[in-house]
């Protein structure tokens, strides 16, 4: 079940109250970097041609 517009608005207001308007963009930027890193890690795990650092050291 997807959140409705009222629920999203409540979450945004709570973020603003807890962290202040000046810190929220930095928090969102760090969250986006984490998501991108996570997706990149998943993509690398699925790629059969990708070689891990451990395998490179053994050769």
pLDDT tens column, 24-41: 889 889 999 999 999 998
Angle between helices 5-19 and 24-46 (to 10 degrees): 120
| pLDDT, averaged across the chain | 82
Going by C-alpha positions, the residue among 43, 15, 52, 17 that lies closest to residue 31 is 15
* 6 membership: H or E segment, kind and range: helix 5-19
**Residue 21 pLDDT more than 80?**
yes
Name the band, by pLDDT with cuts 50, 70 and 90, for residue 57. low
* pLDDT greater at residue 52 or residue 30: 30
As a whole number of Å, the CA-based R_g of the chain is 19
Note the pLDDT of residue 56. Answer: 56
Name the band, by pLDDT with cuts 50, 70 and 90, for residue 42. confident
Retrieve residue 31's tokens: 């969250």
């Amino acid at each position: 079940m997807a959140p409705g517009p009222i629920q999203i608005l409540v979450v945004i207001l709570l973020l603003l109250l807890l962290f202040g308007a000046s810190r929220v963009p930095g928090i969102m930027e760090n969250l986006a970097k984490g998501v991108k890193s996570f997706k990149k890690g998943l993509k690398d795990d699925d790629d059969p041609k990708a070689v891990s650092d451990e395998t490179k050291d053994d050769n």
